[in-house]
């Protein structure tokens, strides 16, 4: 008869304990073969040796403690408790591990804010995805400079009125120099108008799941209908890194010269020895000094958004301080990869007695380094698993728990197929089960 099974192991010590469920069949609960006990009765776990189980008791297992963030999505850890966090003067802050999506710091991360020039990331991602990727435009195409573009205020690339500029130069003028004039040239030349490009940006934001973002222009200049969240900016940054590595290289350029004018990249992290390689800064009176940054050290990448800082100097010092904290305090630890046999689960009415279990996706967790020794990994599935079983079929979950963080879950799947027993075999197994139960 299938029962709820779990296996907990300490990854650090490489020891494991099998917990044998002890069942209490309370009044009104019927015992029958081939069925899972009603979930309304929570069953205590016994750790005694087989044949010497503790006397069954009717009990309700205590619910696991939840962090403020609740249970994390599959493969993604939640933000640590505030005791492991870091105080920052940024009005909004959101820090994630690139590989696992674990949230390391969340300060007003889902609050709408003025993104200033950081929203240009949405603009050039749309150019990458809707025009360059589809072949509607190439990096060598040239676009005309209108008077509107030439007169656009704020940071400039200094495009010539009435001239034509290569798309690659325009993109570098936006990514490196944050040129508002380059944004208008690119929007008008590719989409026909700034508003048409804005419509494409809003559509693309929905496709990417940027639920807290809306755009009113391509430059990031102040507008009440132009806003993003720090969380959305980290999602967008990851898409830029993942989807367009061939263009991400422009993010790390420290300067760009156009029309005889050399301008430095405004990202302060590029000038520090911190492993930074992108992305975008921003500043307006409303937004304050802002930065969406990414850095990689020893194979671990962190994406960080800080916004609402009071001065340019504080943007430099605070971004470096928060980034150092993230790398120092957190590590990404691989546990299992698809194909690794985690356990052999019993099979009910199967042609094979057991089925190997593995993970559907790479099981890597980002946790505080100091908590690694306290990490526990638990398999949870209803066992024996009823045949037939298809290879890749989800049969349970792998739950990783660390004190102070919400559990992280990964789908647990069958690593091999198991056919169902024939009619005679099933009858024999059922009779055998009934005999042993008596």
Catalytic residues, by residue number, are 117, 120, 178
Could you tell me which residues come within 8 angstroms of residue 162 by beta carbon, excluding any fewer than 6 positions away?
Answer: 144, 145
Adjacent-strand bridge partners of 46: 20
Stretch (H or E) spanning 287: none
The vertex-334 CA angle with 330 and 338, nearest 5°, equals 150
For 16, 80, 215, the CA distances from 373, given in Å and listed in that order, are 14, 16, 45
What is the β-pairing status of strands 142-144 and 103-107?
unpaired
Residue at token pair 């398999």: 379
CA distance 5 to 354: 14
Each residue of 309-340: b (16+ CB within 10 Å) or e? Answer: beeeebbbebbbebbbbbbebbbbbebbeeee
| Number of Cβ atoms within 10 Å of the Cβ of 302 | 28
Query: Which token pair is 295?
Result: 């850095």
Stretch (H or E) spanning 331: strand 330-336
CA atoms lying within 13 Å on the CB side of residue 6:
17
CA distance 247 to 235: 17
What is the β-pairing status of strands 255-258 and 288-297?
unpaired
Task: Please report, in angstroms and rounded to a whole number, the separation of the first and last CA atoms in the chain.
Answer: 13
Residue at token pair 């040129």: 179
Could you tell me which residues come within 8 angstroms of residue 90 by beta carbon, excluding any fewer than 6 positions away?
Answer: 107, 306, 307, 308, 309, 318, 322
User: Using CA of residue 426, residue 432, residue 433, residue 434, what is the dihedral sign?
Assistant: positive
CA distance 193 to 195: 5
Query: Which token pair is 217?
Result: 């222009």
């Amino acid at each position: 008869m299938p029962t709820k099974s779990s296996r907990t192991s300490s990854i650090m010590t490489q020891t494991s304990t099998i917990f044998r469920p002890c069942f209490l069949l309370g009044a009104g609960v019927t015992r029958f073969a081939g069925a899972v006990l009603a979930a309304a009765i929570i069953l205590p776990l016994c750790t005694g040796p087989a044949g010497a189980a503790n006397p069954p008791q009717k009990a309700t297992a205590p619910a696991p403690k939840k962090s403020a963030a609740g249970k994390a999505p599959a493969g993604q850890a939640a933000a640590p408790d505030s005791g492991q966090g870091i105080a920052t003067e940024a009005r909004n802050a959101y820090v994630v591990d690139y590989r696992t999506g674990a949230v390391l710091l969340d300060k007003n991360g889902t609050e709408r804010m003025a993104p200033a020039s950081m929203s240009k990331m949405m603009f050039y991602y749309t150019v990458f995805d809707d025009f360059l990727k589809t072949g509607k435009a190439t990096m060598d195409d040239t676009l005309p400079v209108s008077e509107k573009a030439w007169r656009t205020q704020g940071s400039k690339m200094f495009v010539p009125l009435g001239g034509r500029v290569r798309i690659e130069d325009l993109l570098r003028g936006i990514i490196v120099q944050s040129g508002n004039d380059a944004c208008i040239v690119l929007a008008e030349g590719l989409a026909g108008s700034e508003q048409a490009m804005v419509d494409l940006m809003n559509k693309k934001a929905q496709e990417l799941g940027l639920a807290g973002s809306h755009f009113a222009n391509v430059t990031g200049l102040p507008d009440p209908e132009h806003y993003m969240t720090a969380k959305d900016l980290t999602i967008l940054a990851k898409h830029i890194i993942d989807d367009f590595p061939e263009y991400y290289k422009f993010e790390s350029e420290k300067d760009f010269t156009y029309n005889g004018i050399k301008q430095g990249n405004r990202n302060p992290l590029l000038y520090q020895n911190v492993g930074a390689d992108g992305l975008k800064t921003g500043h307006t009176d409303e937004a304050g000094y802002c930065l969406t940054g990414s850095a990689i050290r020893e194979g671990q990448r962190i994406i960080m958004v800080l916004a609402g800082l009071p001065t340019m100097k504080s943007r430099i010092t605070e971004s470096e301080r928060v980034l150092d904290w993230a790398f120092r305090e957190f590590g990404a630890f691989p546990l299992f990869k698809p194909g690794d046999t985690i356990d052999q689960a019993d099979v009910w009415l199967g042609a094979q007695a057991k089925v190997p279990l593995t993970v559907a996706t790479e099981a890597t967790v980002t946790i505080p380094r100091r908590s690694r020794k306290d990490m526990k990994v638990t398999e949870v599935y209803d066992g024996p698993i009823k045949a037939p079983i298809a290879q890749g079929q989800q049969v349970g979950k792998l739950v990783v728990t660390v004190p102070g963080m919400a559990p992280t879950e990964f789908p647990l799947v069958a690593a091999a197929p198991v056919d169902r027993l024939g009619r005679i075999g099933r009858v024999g197994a059922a009779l055998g089960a009934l005999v042993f139960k008596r």
